[in-house]
Chain A
Amino acid sequence: MKVEAKQLEFQTSIAPKTGADLLIDLLKNEGVDTLFGYPGGAVLPIYDAIYRAQGTIKHILFRHEQGMIHAAEGYARITGKPGVVIATSGPGATNLVTGITDAMMDSLPLVVFTGQVARSVIGTDAFQEADVMAITTPITKHNYQVQSISDLPRIVKEAFHIASTGRPGPVLVDIPKDISAGVLVEEPEKACIDLPGYQPTTKPNPLQIKKLADSVAKAKKPVILAGAGVLHGKASRELTAFAEKHQLPVVTTLLGLGAFPADSPLSLGMGGMHGTYAANIALYETDLLINIGARFDDRLTGNLKHFAPHAKVAHIDIDPAEIGKNVPTQIPIVSDAKEALVELIVQTAESPENKAWLETLHQYKQEYPLWYKHEPDGMCPQWLIEAVHKVTNGEAIVTTDVGQHQMWAAQYYTFKEPHRWITSGGLGTMGFGFPAAIGAQIASPESTVVAIVGDGGFQMTLQELSVIYERNLPVKIIIVNNGALGMVRQWQELLHGNRISESILHTQPDFVKLAESYGIRGMKIDNQEDLITFLPELFAHDGPVLVDCRVRQQEKVFPMIAPGKGIHEMIGVKPS
């Protein structure tokens, strides 16, 4: 044994530097502190280099590539820095596809490294070969296949630059095994970014800013729509200053929650399919719609024919392709949200005369608040979210999957601060919430992180329970368990003649025992009294906790804009 160990040491000490060693050096240069990874054949040289780096770069081993990439997304959302992912070729890479697409849709910076078979066998259907470049071209902001070790420094530098600037997004770097295993002949020169085709505009056009400032002064019914662009641009403070100075009401999108304090009198809450009455009617009646960093997604606008029909539309976005894509725009401003808002604050001399408008909106808020009714046949999911809000003082980082629980969390977990909300908006990915919470907890170890997930979605990525146990990450998992794919069930009930087709999960694991089998504390709660009793203690627990909360299956998300309807045609705005 001893001899063997010595040999190993000998081997490592004289081992020449490889492409993989160079990669690790480059990642450290980029300030990467955490790798979200899973090893495999084509990345063995990279894992050898990680071994040789002796813990100077932290690697978190997940249990499935989908879990790790969602974790990297959660990390990116909290830190604003690219989440760095390593997966092997073939199935390792294809398992990432959902996460890459999710990051693309929600503009999250990721740098994804995939192993590839050696260049000599690319294109021969080699073992674990997949055409990752072709597969990921439409779902990445950009992708590279490394063809020479000497290109590696430039490609890594460019990948981080592209992922994190302009409109953020995922960049994939495919590394053939002979490149990562290849021996470095000489230390490569310092890399320079060479991207003549990539120059994002970040400063607003002053003429357009002036035009918008004048329009603000003249508007009678102005409203701001704040999207995730405000958060990416770290412009919440500027947005709040601008809105307060001119008394402009603010609607946030699903992904923009937290960009504007929900407790401000100017906040109308979330707009869109399950938005508040006040927010949606404001978007319908407004005469000046100022969109800052939202992309007029169909779940926000409803039927475009009825969206903001009386409004002059101004749109501030860092991505010029978003402006005018869905909604005709009179004042286009290609810019970083913060830069534009700073200029707007300077240029807008006069406040609009919109007292009557604010009064009307205030009445809508009073008259049509979000509502739910307690029923005898089970715990109310909305109430559950409110209870979680209360026990965490509204200050937790909250992650979700997609569906009913996501909408209830969006409606009832109101945020005072930005960068606390992590949800899969554009792609609507089940199984996103729990691993994203792991990434968030790694990014922000001191914060309380709550994964509010559905019983359906949780079962798609629950294998990562190992990770929170292994790393003792005190993530709190709240399963909003209605024994159904709730949103599918809701649509079937409301829009498909109550034909409940394959949306009930008749069999489920015992989630408490499941948690315990992973070494995690678990508890099942099916009534309000128990929740009130145990929730504070569960949240005070200094480790991960899973709470299986049984809620009413029949409960539906309201208000709702049915598909194809206009934003003013909401149903369920009041208790029936």
Chain B
Amino acid sequence: MKRIITLTVQDRSGVLNRVTGLLQRRQFNIESISVGPTETEGISKMTLVVEIEDEQRLEQVTKQLNKQIDVLKVSDITDKAIVVRELALIKVASSSHLRSEINGIIDPFRASIIDVSKESLAVQITGRPEKIDALIELLRPYGIKEIARTGLTAFLRGYQPQVNELATYSLIK
């Protein structure tokens, strides 16, 4: 199962190495990782997407991460009400006559064209990873020359449904 784990860490040299090294050593597969500063100076936030077989392994990975001295907090937010975003840049082969057609495809995704050259154009899209995957599939027939994705970042929504609401929520999800 895919889990989204966020870590609040002290911004010290080697902290990213500690986290990724630990996951590698304990044989957890990292699908994506993103890191950046937070509202507090000296504190960074990492968002990890990891593939984990079962609850026991999940518990183990969060505990091992928590043991790191520079890690302040570990949360598995997968089942919470969260906002999830990723950014992708997609370079598509395109001559001038296809440009409007592509524009028509990306428009419903609220993506935008941010660079144009004779043979290609670059599309920028933000959203949930599934949405990005969907756009990539639609653009593939035109010839994708390059993709760069940031890995997802996420945090909790301002309002967290109560536990009983959450059950309903996850059923219809």
Taking Cβ atoms with an 8 Å cutoff, the residues of A that contact B are 133-134, 137-138, 141-143, 145, 147, 162, 195-198, 319-321, 324-325, 328
**Contact of A324 with B72 in the complex, beta carbons under 8 Å:** no
> Among the listed stretches B57-65, B84-92, B96-104, B155-163, which one makes contact with chain A, having 4 or more residues with CB under 8 Å of it?
B57-65
Chain A contacts for B22, CB-based, 8 A: 138
A325 to B58, CA, bound (A): 10
Are B17 and A195 in contact (CB-based, < 8 A)?
no
Given contacts A321-B64, A324-B59, A325-B60, contact A142 B17 (CB under 8 A): no
Q: Judging by beta carbons under 8 Å apart, are A134 and B60 in contact? A: no
CB-CB under 8 A from A195, the residues of chain B are: 69
Give Cα distance in the complex from A133 to B10, angstroms: 17
Whether B21 pairs with A138 at a CB distance below 8 angstroms is yes
Q: Does B25 contact A (CB under 8 A)?
A: yes
Residues from chain A with Cβ under 8 Å of B10 in the complex: 196-197
In B66-93, the 8 Å CB interface with A consists of 66-72
Q: Which of B17, B63, B69, B72 has the most CB of A within 10 A?
A: B69
Contact between chains at B69 and A142 (CB < 8 Å): yes
> With the chains together, A195 CA to B70 CA distance in Å?
8
Residues of B within 8 A of A198 (CB): 69
* A197 B59 Cβ-Cβ under 8 A: no
Q: Please, how many angstroms separate the alpha-carbon atoms of A147 and B71 in the complex?
A: 20
Q: Is the CB of A145 within 8 A of B63?
A: no
Task: Verify B72–A196 contact, CB threshold 8 A.
Answer: yes
Q: Within the complex, what minimum Cβ distance (angstroms) separates A193 from chain B?
A: 11
Known: A138-B21, A138-B25, A325-B60. A197 touches B13 (CB 8 A): no
Q: Are A197 and B21 in contact (CB under 8 A)?
A: no
B18: Cβ under 8 A from any A Cβ: yes
A selection of 26 A-B contacts at a CB cut-off of 8 Å is A133-B14, A134-B17, A137-B14, A137-B17, A138-B25, A141-B69, A143-B14, A145-B13, A195-B69, A196-B10, A196-B72, A197-B9, A197-B68, A197-B69, A197-B70, A197-B71, A197-B72, A319-B67, A320-B63, A320-B66, A321-B64, A321-B66, A321-B67, A324-B59, A324-B60, A325-B60
Q: How far is the CA of A520 from the CA of B10 in the complex (A)?
A: 53
Nearest CB on A from B69, distance (A): 4
CA distance A195 to B71 in the complex (A): 10
Chain B residues near A197: list those with CB within 8 A: 9-10, 68-72
Is B69 a contact of A162 with CB atoms below 8 Å?
yes
CA distance A88 to B20 in the complex (A): 28
- Which A-chain residue is minimally distant from B22 (CB atoms)? A138
- In the complex, A134 Cα to B17 Cα: how many Å? 8
How far does the Cβ of B41 sit from chain A's closest Cβ, in whole Å?
14
Residues of A with C-beta under 8 A to B60: 321, 324-325
B56 at the interface (CB under 8 A from A): yes
Question: A133-B14, A137-B14, A138-B21 are contacts. A324–B56 as well, Cβ < 8 Å?
Answer: yes
Q: Tell me the minimal C-beta distance from A94 to chain B in angstroms.
A: 18
Q: Please provide the 3 A-B residue pairs with the shortest distance between their CB atoms, ordered closest to farther.
A: A321-B63, A142-B69, A197-B72
- Residues on A with C-beta less than 8 A from B68 are 197
Instruction: Return A307 CB to nearest CB of chain B, in Å.
Output: 15
Separation of A321 and B71 alpha carbons in the complex (Å): 14
Q: Which A residues are in CB contact (< 8 Å) with B25?
A: 138
Q: How long is the Cα–Cα vector from A126 to B100 in the complex, in angstroms?
A: 57
A166 to chain B: closest residue by CB: B67
Residue of B21, B56, B71 touching A137 (CB-CB under 8 A): B21
Please report the C-alpha to C-alpha distance between residue A319 and residue B63 in the assembled complex, in whole angstroms: 9
Chain A residues lying within 8 Å of B13, measured Cβ to Cβ, are 145, 147
Complex Cα–Cα for A324 and B17 (A): 26
A133 to chain B, nearest CB (A): 6
Bound complex: CA of A133 vs CA of B14, how far in Å? 8
Residues of A within 8 A of B21 (CB): 137-138
B70 contact set on A, CB distance < 8 A: 197
